Amino acid sequence: MFIAFILAPVSALFAGSTPGEFFATLRQPDVQEALRLSALTTTITLSCAIAFGTPVAYLLARWSFPGRALLDTLVDLPIVVPPAVAGVALLIAFGRRGIFAPLLAAAGIRLSFTTAAVVLAQLFVASPFYVRAARAGFAGVDHRLEEASATLGAGRFETFCRITIPLALPSIIGGGVLSWARALGEFGATIMFAGNLVGVSQTMPLAVYLKLESGDLPAALAISIVLVVTSLVVLLIVRFAER
């Protein structure tokens, strides 16, 4: 029953579209813009998640300090907060009339309704998936191996690069892929904080919404199929990485 319930809508997507319509849609300029923008923003988001999330994940896995449990919970918070709420929160914080608006304006930075806002929205909702997985990966590395490395003469950074990272790599890859997929599907926070402008903030999920609103069902289906297939590939990669 349950399997059928999952399978039915997914197969309906494929049944509702013909190959001709599918490829014709993918050639539309605004659809191509959405594809390009999604690829660009999710790549930047993933890079930022890895760059900023890895130290946090390591900190949470390896160090005990006052407020660690609180920080741990805080990092997970965006996973349970509704994306629309995340969008409002981002708008209130970094929007044109947001709390940090004077600061950003002084620095000459405008965030809301830009591509940068898309990245921020994705980062907010997607990076916790990476941090969670990486933290679990780091915590799973036997601390004695790092100590052995230290007694053999490796410094902290060298130990991190040669022992900790390679041993946590399956979790890091799994978390990175999941977080990337979450960023790719990001809708609520993006439309609130970044709007729905072709070429600027209209990523693929937003394009699906717009196409459906404007009555272009085949286009909405085609983009959806791309997203479903991508998600499936992502799941397979995660499975493979976990092994």
Residues 220 and 46: their CA atoms lie apart, in Å, by 26
Closer by beta carbon to another protein, 158 or else 213: 158
Q: Report the alpha-carbon distance of residue 37 to residue 71 in Å, rounded.
A: 32
| 142 interacts with another protein by CB under 8 A | yes
Print the SS3 string covering 76-142. Answer: HHHHHCCHHHHHHHHHHHHCCCCCCHHHHHHCCCCCCCCHHHHHHHHHHHHHHHHHHHHHHHHHCCC
51-110 residues near another protein, rule: CB under 8 A: none
User: Which range, of 17-25, 117-125, 162-170, 216-224, touches another protein by CB under 8 A?
Assistant: 162-170
Q: How is residue 109 written in tokens?
A: 């930075």
**C-beta separation of 74 from 57 below 8 A:** no
> Of 170 and 218, which has the nearer Cβ to another protein?
170
How near is the Cβ of 139 to another protein at its closest, in Å?
16
Q: Are 124 and 91 spatial neighbours (Cβ–Cβ below 8 Å)?
A: no
Rounded least distance, CB 138 to another protein, Å? 15
* Candidate residues 2, 27, 107, 144; the one interacting with another protein per rule CB under 8 A: 144
The residue within the footprint of another protein, chosen from 55, 158, 239, 242 (CB under 8 A), is 158
Footprint on this chain of another protein (rule: CB under 8 A): 142, 144-145, 147-155, 158, 162-163, 166-167
